[in-house]
Structure formats: C-alpha cells, structure tokens
Amino acid sequence: MRFVIALPFLWLGVFFLLPFALVLAIALGTNAPDSVPPVELGIGLKNFALLFTDDLYLAAWLTSLRVATTSTLVALLLGYPMAYAIARAAPERRPLLLMLVVLPFWTSFLIRVYAWMGLLDENGLLNQFLRWSGIATDPGTILGTEWAVHLGIVYAYLPFMVLPLYATLEKMDMSLLEAAADLGARPFAAFLTITLPLSLPGVVAGCLLVFIPAVGEFVIPDLLGGTETLMIGKVLWDEFFTNADWPLASAVAICLLALLVGPIALFQRQQARSLERH
C-alpha cells in the first residue's frame, strides 16, 4: 500500500524534480561552448538578467502571452456553443458527437500541423481553391503569419476547451432552467443568469487547459508561424539547439514555468474545489 502511494512520488522525484534541479543549476551557470556539456556551473543571475533586459526576449514573452490569450478566447467562443450543443443533444447522439471532437487525436499532432502547412501554403489547397473559384486572383499567404499560428493553436487545443465545458454543461440540472422560465426568464436571460454562471468552472478549466500549453507552444509557431512571430517556446529551442547556449535556454525554461505556475495552481485549486462539491 505504502509502495503504491510512494511510486508516483518517486516517479515525480526522479523524472521531474531531479531534472528540474539540473535545469535550474544550468540556468545559474555560464555558457562554455568548448566544454562538454557546454556549461560552466556557478551561481549567477546574468542569464535571467539578460531575459529581462534584452528586447528580443521581452517581445517573445509578450507575443506568447498575446497569442495564447487570443487563441484561448477564440477557442472559448467556438468551444462553448459546441459543448452546449453536444450537452443538449439527444442522449444517444452525444457519444458520437464527443467522438468527433476527440477524433483528431487519432492522428499524430505533428502530422496534423503539417497538414495545415499544406492547406495554408502559398500554393496550398486554400489558395488553389481561391484562384480556381475566382474569389481572389492574387491571394496572400496565410502560412508564416501570426494568423496561421492562431489558427493552428485554436485547431489543436479546441478539444481541451470543449471537453471540460461539456462535462459541466451536461451535468447541469435541467429543472433549474425550467424554474428560471417559470419565474419569467426568456431563454436567453435564463442562459445568462443560470447556465453561464453555473458553467464557469468548466470555462476556467477549458481556458487554462488551452492557455497553459499555448504559451509554451513550440511546434505550431515553428511550422506555421514566420520569422516575425517569435514565441518563447521557439526562443527556447533556438537558444538550445541553434545557439547551443544551454544556460540561457534553461533560464527561459525556468521563467516559462514560473509564469505558468500561477495559472496551473489556479487550475488545480479549481479542480480540487469541484471535487469537494461532488
């Protein structure tokens, strides 16, 4: 019994805490391109100082936050009606509709992002269609812009928005809406005063599940975004692999984690609270 409880902690200790300590140690060291590994250990904050003084990093942080925030909002605006429609569909049709939401997971994430490249490329399917149909003779290219990054993030993380929203909407007591109607609420007023406030836990959960990975997202901005969309995940990658500056990359990783601790803690607390309620 004790072993069963200890196992996940042991796992976390070995595969999370220990690597985290290593990353922190590297972040406090200095870059030493000629040694293997290319780090000289020590205690210094100059890597962190650089992150907060160099405009490039600051811009990357802000872009990441902005892209993640707008993507989350768009996912919420798309996901809420989807979740609502599924939750209110006939019970025998819900499994099929949920399946359709989850279906993209059956294909590798990377392949799906590559598929978007094929769609959004200058000579991609979208532009071919636009030229063929005569809607636009000289359409611009979406690939390589921030639009493409938003599109990719919303597409990839929409299920994470829909599922928690569906869970809260589905378990809502429908007699509450009847009571609201009985007391004189039009359907839309009943939605605003009853459904929406009662689904807030799902809204918070969905937003965090989209926002947290979106901030640190690397693959989507790398493949779909252009050079002008510099997000922090991509900076981390570049520092590590292109510039081989391990300490700076580690400092970026630490900061990313620190930035997300707030939302993650919020998410955990909210989950714990909803567990208490049931």
Partner 1 sequence: MDRREDGPVSGPIVRIEGLTKRFGAVTAVDDVDLEVAPGELFALLGGSGCGKTTLLRLLAGFETPDAGRLLIDGQDMTGVPPHLRPVNMMFQSYALFPHMNVAENVGYGLRREGVAKAEATTRVADALEQVRLTEYAQRRPAQLSGGQRQRVALARALVKRPKILLLDEPLAALDRKLREGTRFELVRLQAELGLTFVMVTHDQQEAMSMATRLAVMNAGRIVQVGSPREVYERPATRFVADFIGVANILKTEDGWLALRPEKIALSVERSGLANVVAGKIVDLAYEGDRSLYRIATDGAVLIVSTAPNLAHRRGDSVWLGWAADAGHPLDA
Query: What is the binding site for partner 1 (CB under 8 A)?
Result: 173, 175-176, 178-186, 189, 193-194, 197-198
Report the residue number, 111 or 183, with the smaller CB distance to partner 1: 183
CB of 188 to partner 1, least distance (A): 11
Report the residue number, 40 or 178, with the smaller CB distance to partner 1: 178
**Closest by CA position to 149, among listed 119, 105, 113:** 113
CB of 271 to partner 1, least distance (A): 18
CB of 277 to partner 1, least distance (A): 9
Report the residue number, 54 or 173, with the smaller CB distance to partner 1: 173
Cα–Cα separations (whole angstroms), residue 251 to 6, 191, 232: 31, 46, 12
Cα–Cα separations (whole angstroms), residue 19 to 4, 36, 137, 268: 23, 18, 53, 22
Report the residue number, 128 or 193, with the smaller CB distance to partner 1: 193
Joined together, the tokens standing for residue 148 give 């493409």
Rounded Cα distance between 167 and 179, Å, is 22
Where on the phi/psi map is residue 107: left (φ > 0), alpha (ψ -120 to 50), or beta? beta
**Closest by CA position to 200, among listed 227, 174, 164, 225:** 164
Joined together, the tokens standing for residue 118 give 């094929």
CB of 44 to partner 1, least distance (A): 51
Report the residue number, 228 or 276, with the smaller CB distance to partner 1: 276
Beta bridge pairs of residue 112: none
Q: Which amino acid is at 27?
A: A
CB of 199 to partner 1, least distance (A): 11
Report the residue number, 130 or 198, with the smaller CB distance to partner 1: 198
**Closest by CA position to 206, among listed 104, 256, 107, 274:** 274
**What are the backbone angles phi and psi of residue 107, rounded to the nearest 5°?**
-105, 145
Report the residue number, 99 or 176, with the smaller CB distance to partner 1: 176
Report the residue number, 89 or 198, with the smaller CB distance to partner 1: 198
Q: What residue ranges in the chain does DSSP mark as E strands? A: 30-31, 39-40
CB of 180 to partner 1, least distance (A): 7
**Closest by CA position to 215, among listed 251, 263, 266:** 263
CB of 173 to partner 1, least distance (A): 7
CB of 163 to partner 1, least distance (A): 22
Q: Which amino acid is at 264?
A: I
**What are the backbone angles phi and psi of residue 33, rounded to the nearest 5°?**
-60, -25
